[in-house]
Amino acid sequence: MSFPSKAYKVLEAVVGTEHISKDQVICEHSNVIITLNRDNDHKIVSGEMTSLFTFNQGKVSVNLKNANADGTVVKLSLISQWCANTAQTKFTMLFSGSEKSRVKFISERSAYGNQKGDFNSNEYNLGFNSGNAFHSYGFALKKDSIFWLVDNICLKREKLLILNTDFNFQLAQWLPDYNPEDVSKKIDKLDPRQLPSMVYLKNFKFESLKGEENQ
């Protein structure tokens, strides 16, 4: 299907001077397009979509052509469901800035109760410009490991405790994380000549891996 409307939802929200709008996620010529732009009121408007399905052992991927603007970030994330007495876990593939040939693979766990949070990030050179053509990006979750995949090749693997929670798959184009005091500076860094900034997505795929042995 060209637009995975039954499997994904588009979020609506306002965060500081930034707006998430359903109007910024459209389907055109079999591509899903997430567009980031700057409106007349000096606000940033962009889009974010999250899977309606959840899983704890599976492989999820999408073909993506990266955004053209230098001052935005594009995120593909697995985000765990909130559970009582459990820290939230997030695995992210992040494209940031003008280095379209580089990507960060991030794992983070929030602090909860007496559990300490942790954050781990590794940067990789893809060997190609992610804004020039479509490539496949995704994750594979098995019972004790997470894999970051590019063109179906594992570039990072991290051992995990046995998973006991489900994850959503999320895609977004946004500004870098910011403090409210410096958001206007980050908006000003966006080159108007590079806007609107568009991320193209197609071929959304999910495959259950339950019952497979970890390799």
Query: What pLDDT is attached to residue 170?
Result: 94
Query: What pLDDT is attached to residue 184?
Result: 53
Tell me whether residue 27 is exposed, middle or buried, using C-beta atoms within 10 angstroms of its C-beta: 0 to 12, 13 to 18, 19 or more. middle
Host H or E run for residue 185: helix 183-188
Pick the CATH number of 8-208 from 3.30.379.10, 3.40.50.720, 2.60.120.200, 3.10.580.10: 2.60.120.200
Task: Point out which residues pair with 150 in neighbouring strands.
Answer: 137, 153
Q: What is the pTM of this model?
A: 0.85
Whole-angstrom CA distances from 127 to 17, 58, 63, 71 are: 35, 27, 17, 21
Strand pairing class (118-125; 102-109): antiparallel
Residues of the chain with pLDDT under 70: 1-5, 12-18, 40-42, 83-86, 111-116, 161-163, 177-189, 211-215
Query: What pLDDT is attached to residue 26?
Result: 84
Query: What pLDDT is attached to residue 76?
Result: 96
Q: Count the neighbouring beta carbons within 10 Å of the beta carbon of residue 34.
A: 24
